[in-house]
Amino acid sequence: MTIAFQLITSAAALGEFCEHAQGAEFIAVDTEFVRTRTYFARLGLVQIQAGERTALIDPVALAAEDDGQALLPLWQLLADPQTTLVIHAGGEDYEILHQHMGQLPNAIFDTQIASAMLGDGDALGYAALVEQRLGVAIDKSQSRTDWMKRPLAPEQLDYAAADVFYLQQLYPELYELAQTQGKLELILQESAWQAHKRAQTIPDEWQFLYFGNAWQCDPEQLSVLRELVAWRYQRARSSDLPLGFIAKDHTLLDLARQMPDSKNKLRYFKELSPVTIKYAGDALLGAIAKGRDNGPLDIPLLRLTDLPNYKTMFNAIKKLAQQTADELGINVALIASRRQINDVLHWCWQIPSHAQDQLPLPDLFTSWRGAKLKQPIEQLLK
């Protein structure tokens, strides 16, 4: 099926479309972006279905048109609390929209969350959901498009249009089912929470608490690792490069454990790029020295599975999650994954209270999950 769409490349056309979209009962939204060689995602396209109109909004063309205000009507439309945004698996979409809008969209209905809670299967992809619900097979061959390259080919634009055209058709069906099954409020709360989660930030100084193998460090090495992890985030943002381009995780761990004190010694770390050593070597060595000067870090990070009562407490929380799932009539995987249970144990057992004051709560302690699980889990852990 050929989908008719409007490619918007001017501020005038965008303003007219956004005015039209304000009158729609809801709008279907998707974004296309590129994030292969940068820290910050680069927005390549915004797709919106409003009523019978499908618009592909080109931020690359619009950014070249004026002083950066051309997209303002779009951000105002998406921020309007009276406008319901229908989106599928919006995690990264929320992140890049927050980056550009300076705030989160309002009134979100995530069709992946809805389909999972309605029993279609966990984390069903858009194409699979469209085929399952609407009987339409979508061509996904353009999923690896470079969305920053211009001009975009007709088949790429067709692919982008399909991402919102069928989303608009899915929403009324899923909404009605959600109401019938008494799950609408739960779906809306989870959709809002997933967007909120993407806007949360962890201060650089506490990022090491979430570093996978930090437990391998002794207290002095942990102090160095804290500074190295913070340095990598700062370097990645200032250079707009992926974290792994600055230094991979295992390289940071090796640096923390060996604590080199000269550029010559940095060259022994084979996966540390010569460019990083040349342009950021002094700052890297400064981070190592700062960690050593601060002295041993009195935060006993251990491997969770080595902690006393880990298995007992993990299973007890899993049982609580199953009880909640039975009560709500949804799959337990939507309540608490293994990672989410580990996160809450890590939070309660290993993150010091003065750090907790500056960090986002674990998933099981917030939103509708927290209302059901926070108090029972805290009682368990006492």
Q: Where are the alpha helices (DSSP H) in 102-206?
A: 111-117, 126-134, 154-180, 184-199
Query: Which of these is catalytic: 58, 93, 95, 227?
Result: 93
Amino acid at 297: L
- Tokens representing 36 are 């292969």
Query: Which of these is catalytic: 95, 110, 126, 159?
Result: 159
Chain segment 255-273, per-residue pLDDT in tens: 999 999 999 999 999 999 9
Residue 123 carries which DSSP code?
A: T
- Any catalytic annotation for residue 93? yes
pTM of the shown model: 0.94
> Residue 68 — pLDDT band, cuts 50, 70, 90?
low
- Any catalytic annotation for residue 163? yes
Query: Which of these is catalytic: 30, 58, 190, 227?
Result: 30
- Any catalytic annotation for residue 268? no
Other Cβ atoms within 10 Å of 353 Cβ, number: 6
Chain segment 312-322, per-residue pLDDT in tens: 999 999 999 99
**pLDDT of 144 over the 70 cut:** yes
**pLDDT of 38 over the 90 cut:** yes
Query: Which of these is catalytic: 110, 163, 190, 343?
Result: 163
CA-nearest of 229, 202, 216, 353 to 291 is 229
- Any catalytic annotation for residue 343? no
- Any catalytic annotation for residue 32? yes
On whether the CB atoms of residues 156 and 11 are closer than 8 A, the answer is no
